[in-house]
């Protein structure tokens, strides 16, 4: 799949919240970007929104993803803090 003639470099944000932004070489085919991570046997594919031509675009996308994740975690924390454990809240199963 990775033909030498069509190799391009891109910034991948698919795993930016766990691995960081990756700068890799691969090929674009049908709107997907395919690359082979070091140490992997097979290629990885990314949607158009998950790879970027410029570092600035990749950083902006990673910031957006991080902010969405922070908001989701804040909602989850608020729900956990609002929980109460009282005798009336105990569920009896027979």
pLDDT tens for the chain, 94 residues: list them. Answer: 555 668 999 999 999 999 999 999 999 998 899 998 887 888 899 999 999 999 999 999 999 999 999 999 999 999 999 988 888 878 888 8
For position 41, what pLDDT does the model report? 85
For position 63, what pLDDT does the model report? 98
pTM listed for this prediction: 0.79
Structure tokens at 68: 């969405």
For position 87, what pLDDT does the model report? 85
- Tell me the sheet residues that pair with 9: 25
- Residues near 40 by Cβ (< 8 Å), separated by ≥ 6? none
Identify whether the C-beta of residue 24 lies closer than 8 Å to the C-beta of residue 37: yes
Q: What is the C-alpha to C-alpha distance for residues 52 and 8, in angstroms, rounded to an integer?
A: 11
């Amino acid at each position: 799949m990775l033909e030498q003639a069509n190799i391009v470099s891109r910034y991948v944000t698919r795993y930016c919240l766990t691995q960081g932004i990756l700068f890799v070489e691969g090929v674009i085919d049908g709107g997907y970007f395919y690359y082979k991570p070091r140490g992997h046997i097979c290629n990885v594919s990314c949607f158009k929104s998950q790879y970027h031509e410029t570092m600035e675009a990749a950083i902006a996308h990673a910031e957006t993803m991080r902010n969405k994740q922070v908001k989701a975690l804040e909602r989850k924390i608020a729900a956990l803090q609002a929980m109460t454990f009282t005798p009336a809240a105990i569920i009896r199963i027979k």
